[in-house]
Amino acid sequence: MSWRKKSSLDWLRALPGVSQDEPLASRTSFGIGGPAEFFVESGRVEAIERTIAGCAEREIPYLLLGAGTNMLIADAGVEGLVIRVVNRDHSIEGTRVRAGAGLKMMRLARIVADANLRGFEFAIGVPGTVGGAVYQNAGCWGREMNDVLVDVAGFVPGKRDAADQDQELRQRVQEPSGRLGRAPRAGRGTQGRAPGRGNRLDAARQLHRQRGRRKGEGRSSAHRARARRGEAPLQRRARDRGRARGSLEMKVAVLCGGRSAEREVSLKSGAQVQSALRELGHEVVQVDIDASTWDVLRDGGFGCVFNALHGRLGEDGTVQGMLELLGLPYTGSGVLASALCMDKARAGSVMTAAGLDVPEFDEFEVKEGVSADTVEQLIAKYGLPLVIKPVREGSTIGLTIARDADAVASGLVLASKYDRRVLAQRFQEGTEITVGVLATPDLQVLPTLEIVSDNPVYDYDAKYTAGKSHHIIPARIPEHLREEAQHDAGVAFQVLGCSGMARVDIIVDADGTPWILEVNTVPGLTALSLLPDAAKAAGITFTDLCKRLVDHAVARHQNRIGPTSR
């Protein structure tokens, strides 16, 4: 054969870990066949690609071998080089599962099940490795790899043009199961799937998510150029399909309702979330808070809990503590950040200490009525109008903008009906805006949103009655003030220890100072709510927003350190 030059044989013998006349019968499911003339194992895609490139350059025939499932090796053995792929790395990030080509499908099915993810059960009946399953679009029991495949990373030897690479890979991974057979090749080698130069497309069996690949190292020049330009078209297409479908499905509990003054809003938020999660393919169960909630969540087999509870219990760390004890992944901030943000007085103190501008306030308990001295002292300190609100409520519930002494007294009484701890604060004139912040896990500050209310105050009625308020994105303030408000919102999110999502409410005064009013860790998710509108302006659909939050919750839980990590 023309390839059997001394230089080629010397190159083969110099490969790291290479052996000669290696028996292959024990490396296939049928247990028959002759030896490999040269044999090497590798789990690194860069090393495999370099080896294949070396074979191609020297016209050395080669065969890529995984688990050897359904592989018939001729008694004469395999000419040239057999490269056995042994990459068994795997990781789970949210509902995304990354697996190396050499990981067995049955093993991966168990790993996915142990992570409380659904939709991959069919893989328990698929023999062989991930590489072969992806390459052949393997399937059983009514499902196949193309149903769960989100993206692939690989190469096709001899195809250095990016468009040709994409076309080859796309054709292979999207063919229906059962259509990948080929006629056997005569002569020395395998039956059914022939090795050697005439079958270089076997390299595409390694279309897998290889852990550790960094910035295109070891890839062809075409792939390095594509890495600089962004994701390959095939990967974008697959990822878009995965986002729409929600990747692997699981059972999700949506907590909504509750016993706070924001119950009705929470139910509306929960309904929106449930619709989005069902669109993603998840099994969704609505869970209200009552005496049975602990048992329902403990015994329900949930892979994640989506917290859509507003106000007390849902935003103050109570539910978060319960979910930590149950060991369940949940969306949003943890115990400490939730409790801190719900307490407007303590959150204000933390933000002030961090150098953020927060309107000056006083906090005190209202137990039995309000004295005239208290009213006079507050007016003397802050002037009129004066903002009065419960320390631990949301949606402007219990809020009063007091414009005279009588209104101050009645406002204190009203606020005390929702919380004995009451906050009195200087009224801040200016443009009312809000800034959404996401951390799933990377920090993303959403565009500024200006609130224009038909009511004198952007109160509960204006927030949740259609037509009573309007959202303007971006806010009608100078660009440098928008950037400053976004910066401050991001800082507030971080110093308070928030996670997942939050909405930061701000007043920008005539002098251009952004005054932070409060941070909401479970903002409204209704059709009229602020954060979903801001996310939409940033190109994030409501469905994708919910998916990001669920994925982040699961990934955070999997990567936690200690029993109560946020």
Instruction: Give the model confidence (pLDDT) of 158-211 as tens digits.
Output: 555 555 655 665 565 555 554 333 333 333 343 333 333 333 333 333 333 333
Instruction: Tally the C-alpha atoms within 13 A of residue 342's C-alpha that lie toward its C-beta.
Output: 25
Same domain, 20 and 79: yes
| Backbone angles phi and psi of 560, in degrees to 5 | -65, 155
- Smallest CA-to-CA distance from 505 within 493, 520, 490 is with 520
- Smallest CA-to-CA distance from 513 within 426, 396, 397 is with 426
Domain of 375: which CATH number? 3.30.1490.20
Mean pLDDT check: name the lowest of 157-171, 431-445, 549-563. Answer: 157-171
Same domain, 325 and 383: no
Same domain, 409 and 509: no
Residues of the domain holding 126: 90-181
Give the residue numbers marked as catalytic.
262, 395, 464, 503, 505, 518, 520, 524
Mean pLDDT check: name the lowest of 268-272, 453-457, 490-494. Answer: 453-457
Same domain, 438 and 529: yes
| Local confidence band at 154 (pLDDT 50, 70, 90 cut-offs) | low
Highest mean pLDDT among 84-98, 240-254, 460-474, 490-504 belongs to 490-504
Domain of 28: which CATH number? 3.30.43.10
Q: What 8-state DSSP symbol labels residue 200?
A: G
Mean pLDDT check: name the lowest of 52-61, 104-113, 379-388, 531-540. Answer: 104-113
| Local confidence band at 118 (pLDDT 50, 70, 90 cut-offs) | confident
Of the residues 371, 402, 426, which one is the last residue of a structural domain? 426
Percent pLDDT > 90 in the chain is: 52
Question: d(Cα 435, Cα 483) in Å, to the nearest integer?
Answer: 11
Cα-based angle 321, 327, 333 (whole degrees, multiple of 5): 45
Q: Per the domain annotation, does 312 fall within a domain?
A: yes
Question: d(Cα 350, Cα 353) in Å, to the nearest integer?
Answer: 5
Cβ–Cβ under 8 Å, residues 193 and 199: yes
Same domain, 542 and 452: yes
pLDDT, mean over the chain: 82
Question: For residue 233, what are its two tokens?
Answer: 């078209």
Same domain, 499 and 451: yes
pLDDT digits (tens, 9 = 90+) for 420-430: 999 999 999 99
Same domain, 284 and 303: yes
Could you give the residue ranges of the DSSP H alpha helices within 383-529?
405-418, 460-464, 479-495
Cβ–Cβ under 8 Å, residues 516 and 301: no
Percent pLDDT > 70 in the chain is: 79
Q: What is the pTM of this model?
A: 0.60
Same domain, 19 and 49: yes
Of the residues 155, 181, 207, which one is the last residue of a structural domain? 181
pLDDT digits (tens, 9 = 90+) for 39-88: 998 877 788 888 999 999 999 999 988 778 778 888 899 999 999 887 77
Same domain, 545 and 449: yes
Same domain, 75 and 100: no
Q: Which residue type occupies 357?
A: D
| Backbone angles phi and psi of 273, in degrees to 5 | -65, -45
**Residues near 136 by Cβ (< 8 Å), separated by ≥ 6?**
177, 180
Beta bridge partners of 285: 253
CB contact burial 171-198 (16+ within 10 A = b; e otherwise):
ebbeeebeeeeeeebeebbbeebbbbee
- Smallest CA-to-CA distance from 283 within 272, 291, 294, 274 is with 274
What pLDDT was estimated at residue 144?
85
Predicted confidence (pLDDT) at residue 230 exceeds the cutoff of 50: no
Query: How many residues does the structure list for the chain?
Result: 566
Of the residues 137, 159, 181, which one is the last residue of a structural domain? 181
Same domain, 438 and 544: yes
**Residues near 199 by Cβ (< 8 Å), separated by ≥ 6?**
63, 185, 193
Domains held by the chain: number: 5
What pLDDT was estimated at residue 141?
73
